[in-house]
Structure 1
Amino acid sequence: MEVFEISNNRVRIPGIENELDLFYLHDKGLPGSALRDLMALYELGVGELTLLLNTSRSTLERRLQDGKNLGPYLTDALIELVKIYSKGLEVFEDRGDFLKWLNTPNYYYYDMTPMATLRNGTGRSLVLADLHKLEHSILP
């Protein structure tokens, strides 16, 4: 991985130590290569990532090729998705178990998968809150 580092079941962005650093990162933007890292974390193809980030395939392919920094919307979405991934690793303690949970239809999500709700900020907040509940053995 180039942009994200994984250690002790936590994902981190090198150089980011606190929320204020994340605030400034939004202005600067993550490099386009962060998209490839996110695809590897979640085991996604470009088509799936376009749905998850609510953007066009051509935009993602262009950012993957040119490596230019992402705009604020995509940077924000990637940061939220990395936080969810990190919390999922922490809660499930196993990448495979976390990805299985994300991709399994759930009655609580009206028989959708938690992954399907990650396509907007509201859904991402819902999944992150549910991971916090699971961490404390409160089943959603």
Structure 2
Amino acid sequence: MRQSVGDLQNVQRFSGVFQISDDSTDFGRHFNIKGKRMTVAFHALVNYDGMEPVEIPGAFLSAIPGITNLPVTDIAKMLDMSKSSFYRAKEEDLLEMDTVDKISSLMKIYRKGLEAFEGDKDDFYDWLDTRITSLGDRKPAELLKTETGRLSVLNAIDRIEQNVYG
């Protein structure tokens, strides 16, 4: 069964995963996610587990620069597409599943990062642009271009939450 964020009436029937709680809408507000459809898409991406396909509108790509604080050129590289492909994809009704997977892993990093930095976006963005010893003296933002790099950044955020730095 394909899960769609277009029909808000169906949001609750997807195993509760796409239920919009006060917590998730507050989190979406941190990143200026506005409108029910975009809020549902954001929540679906953060909770996406790869088990069932989820339909995300191409228009959601417009929200990513505001969430990540990164230029479109960098985001396009993270999604394995050219800048012009990025702009074309914004006009699509639905994004391809490969793109949804990549966006989902990015959204999870930003959600977890914001939680680790207790809601302070500026501190989180500063951390993303700081060389981290446990990441091979690289900046977390540099590692967001590959799935392995994104996993390394998630592990580093886990260490912050556990007060294990390095």
TM-score for the superposition, normalised by structure 1: 0.80
SS at match of 1:99: helix
Moved over 2 A (4+): 8-20, 105-112
Q: Provide the C-alpha distance between the structure 1 equivalents of 2:48 and 2:71, rounded to a whole number of angstroms.
A: 29
* Residues 103 and 114 in structure 1, CA contact (< 8 A), matched pair in contact too: yes
Identity of aligned residues (%): 28
Structure 1 residue 87: Cα displacement = 0.4
| Range with bigger deviation, 68-77 or 83-92 | 68-77
Partner residue, 2:16:
none
Q: Which has the higher contact order (CA 8 A, sep 6+)?
A: 1
Aligned length: 133
Q: Name which of 95, 119, 132 aligns with 1:106.
A: 132
Largest Rg, 1 or 2: 2
User: What amino acid maps onto 2:67 in structure 1?
Assistant: L
Corresponding residue for residue 23 of structure 1: 51
Match of 2:79 in 1: 53
Structure 1 gap segments, 5+ residues each: none
2:152 matched residue in structure 1: 126
The alignment status of 1:96 with 2:122, answered yes or no, reads: yes
Match of 2:26 in 1: 7
Question: Displacement of 1:8 after TM fit?
Answer: 5.1
Shift of 1:132: 0.8
* TM-score, with structure 2 as normaliser: 0.69
RMSD over aligned CA atoms reads 2.7
